[in-house]
Amino acid sequence: MPPGAASVPSGTAAATAVQLRLLRQGEPESAARVFELAELQALGRRTVVTRVPWARSAPPGRWEGVPLSRLVAQLRGEGHDLRVSALNGYHAILPWSDISRFDPLLAWSFEGQPIRPRNKGPLVLVYPFDQHRELLGNEVYNDRSVWHVNRIEIQ
Amino acid sequence: MSLLSVSAPAGSPQAWAIRVVAAGLLALLLTVILLGWSSFREAETLSVPEYGQSPWHAFKLRESVGRTQAAARALLAGRGGAEELALQMELGLAQVSAVEQYLLNGDGDSIRMQTLLQRLRALLDGGLAELESASAQAQALAERLEQDLAALDPAMHQLVVDAHHHATQLRQLTRERLLDRLYGLAAVMSLLALSLVYLLVKSLAVQRQQHGLTEALQAANAELEQRVAQRTQDIEFERRLQADILDASPSAIAVLRLSDAALLYHNEQLLRSLDAGGAPPVTLPLEQLFVDADAAQQLTQAATGGLQVRDLELEVRAAHPFTALVHAQRVQIGREPALAVWLHDHTRRKQLEQELQRLAHTDMLTGLLNRRALLGRAEETLHAAHRHHRPFVLLLIDVDHFKRVNDGHGHPAGDQVLIELAQRMRAALRAIDFCGRFGGEEFAVLMPDTELEAAYRVAERMRERCAETPVLLASGQSLSITLSLGVAQWRAGEGIEALLARADAALYEAKRTGRNRVVQAR
CA distance to partner chain A, nearest, from residue B90 (Å):
5
d(CA B120, CA B65): 9
B445 sits in which H/E element: strand B442-448
Closest CA to B52 of B157, B162, B163: B163
Nearest CA in chain A to B43: A137
CA dist., res. B280 & res. B275, Å (int): 10
Distance CA B56, CA A46 (A): 32
Give pLDDT tens digits for A78-113.
889 999 999 988 999 999 999 999 999 999 999 988
Question: CA A25 to CA B177: how far, in whole Å?
Answer: 46
Averaged pLDDT, B135-153: 84
Helix (H) or strand (E) holding B123: helix B108-133
What mean pLDDT is predicted for residues B128-151? 83
Highest mean pLDDT among B30-39, B105-114, B492-501: B492-501
pLDDT of B2 > 60? The answer is no
Q: Do A119 and B98 touch (CB under 8 A)?
A: no
Q: Are B263 and B284 in contact (CB under 8 A)?
A: yes
Contacts of B90 in chain A (CB under 8 A): 12, 15-16, 116-118
Mean pLDDT of B53-72: 88
pLDDT, residue B486, reads 95
Mean pLDDT over residues A29-53, rounded?
89
Q: Cα–Cα distance between B287 and B301 in angstroms, integer? A: 12
Query: At B74, is the secondary structure helix, strand, or coil?
Result: helix
Mean local confidence (pLDDT), B108-120:
83
Q: What is the DSSP letter of B435?
A: E
A142 touches chain B (CB under 8 A): yes
Identify the CA nearest to B72 among candidates B113, B13, B123.
Answer: B123
Residue from B357, B354, B335, B334 nearest B346 by CA: B354
A14: chain B residues, CB-CB within 8 Å? 83-84, 86-87
* Interval B75-85: pLDDT, tens: 888 887 888 88
Q: How many residues does chain B have?
A: 522
Q: Is the pLDDT of residue B343 over 50?
A: yes
DSSP-assigned states of every residue in B208-230: HHHHHHHHHHHHHHHHHHHHHHH
- Residue B135 binned pLDDT confidence (cut-offs 50, 70, 90): low
Report helix, strand or coil for B464.
helix
Query: Looking at A36-134, which runs of residues are DSSP E strands?
Result: 46-50, 61-67, 82-86, 91-94, 105-110, 113-114, 124-126
- DSSP letters for B477-512: -EE---EEEEEEE--TT--HHHHHHHHHHHHHHHHH
Distance CA B218, CA B224 (A): 10
CB atoms within 10 A of CB A90: 16
Question: Are B86 and A56 within 8 A, CB to CB?
Answer: no
- More confident of the two residues B247 and A67: A67
State the count of interchain CB pairs (< 8 A) between A and B: 80
Q: What is the mean pLDDT of chain B?
A: 86
Query: Cβ atoms within 10 A of the Cβ of B506, count?
Result: 23
How far is B324 from B250, CA to CA, in rounded Å?
12
How large is the average pLDDT for residues B354-375?
89
User: B6 pLDDT exceeds 50?
Assistant: no
Q: What is the pLDDT of residue B37?
A: 87
Window A:121-140, CB contacts with B under 8 Å: 136-139
Does B48 have pLDDT greater than 60? no
**Interval A112-132 mean pLDDT:** 90
Report the residue of chain B nearest A16, measured CA to CA: B87
Rounded mean pLDDT of B435-448?
92
Asked if B132 reaches chain A (Cβ–Cβ under 8 Å), the answer is yes
- Residue A54's closest CA among A127, A105, A113? A127
- A85 near B CB under 8 A: no
pLDDT (tens digit per residue) in B406-424: 898 888 889 999 999 999 9
**Among residues B516, B508, B500, which one has the least CA distance to residue B446?**
B500
Per-residue pLDDT at B3 = 43
Rounded-to-integer distance, Cα B246 and Cα B252, Å: 9
Parallel, antiparallel or unpaired: strands A105-110 and A113-114 = antiparallel
- Rounded Cα distance between B331 and B340, Å, is 6
Residue A104 parent element (H or E): none
End-to-end CA distance of chain B: 136
Q: Which of A46-55, B285-294, B481-490 tops mean pLDDT?
A: B481-490
Distance from CA of B171 to the nearest CA of A (A): 15
Report whether B185 contacts B39 (CB < 8 A): yes
The strand pair at A91-94 and B322-333 is best described as unpaired
Q: Taking CB atoms and an 8 Å limit, are A117 and B101 in contact across chains?
A: no
The model's confidence at residue B44, banded by pLDDT at 50, 70 and 90, is low
pLDDT value of residue A149 = 93
Residues of A in contact with B51 (CB under 8 A): none
pLDDT band (50, 70, 90) for residue B50: low
Enumerate the H helices of A5-151 as residue ranges: 13-16, 37-43, 68-74, 96-101, 133-136, 139-144
Q: Note the pLDDT tens digit of each residue in A1-20.
A: 333 333 334 444 445 688 88
- Name the residue of chain A whose CA is nearest to B60's CA: A88
Residues 486-505, chain B, touching A (beta carbon < 8 A): none
Least confident of B196-210, B310-324, B380-394: B310-324
Region B110-134: mean pLDDT is: 85
State how far Cα B128 lies from the chain centre.
114
Annotate B303-363 with DSSP letters as a single string: HHTTPPEEEEEEEEPSSS-EEEEEEEEEEEETTEEEEEEEEEE-HHHHHHHHHHHHHHHB-
Contacts of B59 in chain A (CB under 8 A): none
Task: Tell me which chain B residues have a C-beta less than 8 angstroms from the C-beta of A13.
Answer: 83
Q: DSSP class of residue A154?
A: E
The whole-number pLDDT of residue B280 equals 81
Q: Enumerate the residues of chain B whose CB falls inside 8 A of the CB of residue A120.
A: 94
Tally of CB atoms within 10 A around A67: 19
Give the three-state DSSP class for B409.
helix
Of the candidates B67, B87, B133, the beta carbon closest to that of A117 is on B87
Identify whether B42 is a catalytic site residue. Answer: no
Residues B127 and B146: their CA atoms lie apart, in Å, by 11
* Facing B94 at nearest CB: one of A117, A136, A138: A117
Element (H, E) at B186: helix B153-248
Whether the pLDDT of residue B137 is over 50: the answer is: yes
B47, B86, B90: residue with CB nearest A137? B47
Q: Is the pLDDT assigned to residue A120 strictly greater than 80?
A: yes
